Amino acid sequence: MNPKRCAACKYLRRRCPKDCIFSPYFPPGDPDKFACIHRIYGAGNVSKMLQQLPVQTRAEAVESLSFEAKCRVEDPVYGCVGIISLLQTEIQKTQTLLARTQAEIAVAQAKHSQNPS
């Protein structure tokens, strides 16, 4: 077997052709990346998705798929939706705190204007 197979073809135990759609994005030194993506999406689905994208956008697509796949492996119930929820909770908390602080400023300013000394 060609020792220069990409991580995807190594995982799939197949020959890595010169025009392999996976090879630019799955170097042989990082086998876990493809393993994770294959587990969640499947090689065929990922191949189809990449084929439908312009070449210059495929690297970003692979990174986002890899991120989502990792999240799903770590949290099979919510995947990266759990992160979205976490962030939305943080936004709500910060907005509440911001509103409260602005109200305190208004009170402090009112006090200052009433007692200028």
Partner 1 sequence: MSSSASPSSSCGGGPCGACKFLRRKCVAGCIFAPYFDSEQGAAHFAAVHKVFGASNVSKLLQHVPEHKRADAVVSICFEAQARLRDPIYGCVSHIVSLQQQVVSLQTELSYVQAHLATLELPQPPPAPVTSSGSPPPLSILDLPTITPSLYELSPIFEPMSSTWTMQQQPRPFDHLFDVPSSSTIGGSSELQALARDFLHGGQIPADLPPPGTGGSAPTVVKRE
Q: Which residues bind partner 1 (CB under 8 A)?
A: 39-42, 44-45, 49, 52-53, 57, 60-61, 63-65, 67-68, 70-92, 94-95, 97-98, 101-102, 104-105, 108-109, 112
Closest to partner 1 by CB, 28 vs 67, is 67
The least distance separating partner 1 from the CB of residue 4, rounded to whole angstroms, comes to: 28
The distance of Cα 111 from the centroid of its chain, to the nearest Å, equals 48
Q: How many angstroms separate the Cα of 93 from the Cα of each of 13, 36, 102?
A: 49, 33, 14
Dig out the tokens for 109 from the structure.
Answer: 């300013």
Dig out the tokens for 77 from the structure.
Answer: 């119930």
Closest to partner 1 by CB, 35 vs 41, is 41
